[in-house]
């Protein structure tokens, strides 16, 4: 228990240090581009080529775990930290799932032109919503249990995996489980189609 706690702290601090380093690199690139440090103003605003425009957040997967970066931007461009190309935007198992889902069903919701088209909800977004609604200490177990639903061989196995998920997490995260149960039919639509070749 103590060893797990120690390594958990080491991992968290490593992730945090990596996030800070990459955030600082993004900020430095923007400062070099603008020729102005943070909170610094030009003498003549009409000569200013571009201006700061906040940041946007992106999740990346590293060997130390997932990190969330703040990518600085101006009105004309953004500044991804150097070396970010070596990191992945999503975990390998999620990337495989996304590619599989693309080949199974259309990502577009039903329209008036195709009133009988089946709608497939996005598991990537559902997993993000699950992550945002749970305590950090439960995230890995919730993620594992939810992945068992969409990585199942067929719809029946997926429903059994959901029942196990509901049994295990309903008392702790009642609303989260209820929302997942409500969306489950549309999350499992891809099982109604043939496997990709």
Residues 99 and 187 in one domain: yes
Q: Based on the domain organization, do 136 and 81 belong to the same domain?
A: no
Find all residues with CB under 8 Å of 94, minimum gap 6, and list them. Answer: 124, 127
Asked if residue 63 and residue 97 are part of one domain, the reply reads: no
Q: Is the pLDDT reported for residue 83 higher than 80? A: no
Same domain, 64 and 44: yes
12 and 78 both lie in a single domain: yes
pLDDT at 168: 92
- Token couple for 142: 């919730």
Residue 53 and residue 127 share a domain: no
48-73 per-position pLDDT tens digit: 777 888 888 888 777 767 788 888 88
Q: How many CB atoms lie within 10 A of CB 80?
A: 16
Q: Concatenated DSSP letters for 81-113?
A: PTTGGGSBSS-HHHHHHHHHHHHHS-SSPP-TT
Instruction: Please report whether residue 129 resides in a domain.
Output: yes
Domain count along the chain:
2
pLDDT of residue 107: 44
Structure confidence at residue 10 as a pLDDT band (50, 70, 90): confident
Q: Tell me which of 84 and 176 has the higher pLDDT.
A: 176
**One domain, residues 77 and 135:** no
Going by pLDDT thresholds of 50, 70 and 90, the confidence category of residue 113 is: low
Average pLDDT, rounded, for the chain: 80
Tell me, yes or no, whether 197 lies in a domain: no
The whole domain housing 50 covers 8-86
pLDDT at 105 over 50: no
Higher-confidence residue of 95 and 122: namely 122
Is residue 50 domain-shared with residue 103, that is, in the same domain?
Answer: no
Task: Specify if 1 maps to a domain.
Answer: no
Q: Is residue 15 part of a domain?
A: yes
What percentage of the chain exceeds 90 in pLDDT?
Answer: 20
Of 38, 71, 86, which marks where a domain is finished? 86
Residue 41: inside a domain, yes or no? yes
Residue, of 65 and 144, whose pLDDT is higher: 144
Does 74 lie in the same domain as 42? Answer: yes
Query: Residue 78: is it exposed, middle or buried by C-beta count within 10 angstroms (0-12/13-18/19+)?
Result: middle
Phi/psi region, residue 2 (left: phi>0; alpha: psi -120 to 50; beta: rest), is: alpha
Q: Which has the closest alpha carbon to 87: 115, 111, 67, 113?
A: 67
Q: Are residues 102 and 158 in the same domain?
A: yes
Name which residue leads in pLDDT, 32 or 5: 32
Phi then psi for 179, rounded to 5 degrees? -65, -40
Q: Indicate if the pLDDT at residue 123 is higher than 80.
A: yes
- Is residue 2 domain-resident? no
Claim to verify: residue 99 and residue 15 sit in the same structural domain? no
Q: Is residue 22 part of a domain?
A: yes
Other C-beta atoms lying within 10 Å of the C-beta of residue 26? 21
The answer to which of 10-24, 37-51, 125-139, 158-172 has the lowest mean pLDDT is: 37-51
pTM confidence score: 0.44
Phi, psi of 79 (to 5 degrees): -130, 90
Structural domain includes residue 174:
yes
Span 174-195, average pLDDT = 88
Residues 81 and 96 reside in one and the same domain: no
CA–CA separation, 29 and 22 (whole Å):
11
């Amino acid at each position: 228990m103590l060893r797990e706690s120690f390594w958990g702290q080491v991992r968290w601090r490593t992730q945090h240090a990596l996030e800070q380093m990459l955030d600082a690199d993004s900020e430095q690139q923007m400062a070099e581009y603008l020729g102005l440090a943070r909170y610094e103003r030009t003498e003549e605003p009409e000569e200013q080529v571009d201006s700061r425009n906040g940041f946007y957040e992106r999740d990346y997967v590293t060997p130390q775990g997932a990190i969330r970066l703040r990518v600085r931007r101006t009105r004309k461009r953004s500044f991804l930290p150097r070396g970010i190309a070596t990191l992945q935007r999503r975990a390998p198992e999620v990337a495989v799932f996304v590619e599989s889902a693309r080949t199974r069903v259309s990502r577009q919701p039903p329209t008036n032109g195709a009133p009988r088209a089946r709608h497939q909800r996005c598991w990537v977004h559902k997993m993000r919503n699950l992550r945002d609604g749970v305590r950090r200490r439960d995230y890995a177990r919730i993620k594992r249990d939810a992945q068992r639903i969409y990585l199942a061989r067929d719809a029946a196995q997926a429903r059994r995996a959901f029942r196990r998920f509901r049994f295990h997490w309903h008392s702790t995260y009642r609303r989260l489980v209820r929302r997942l149960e409500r969306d489950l039919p549309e999350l499992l639509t891809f099982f109604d189609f043939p496997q990709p070749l």
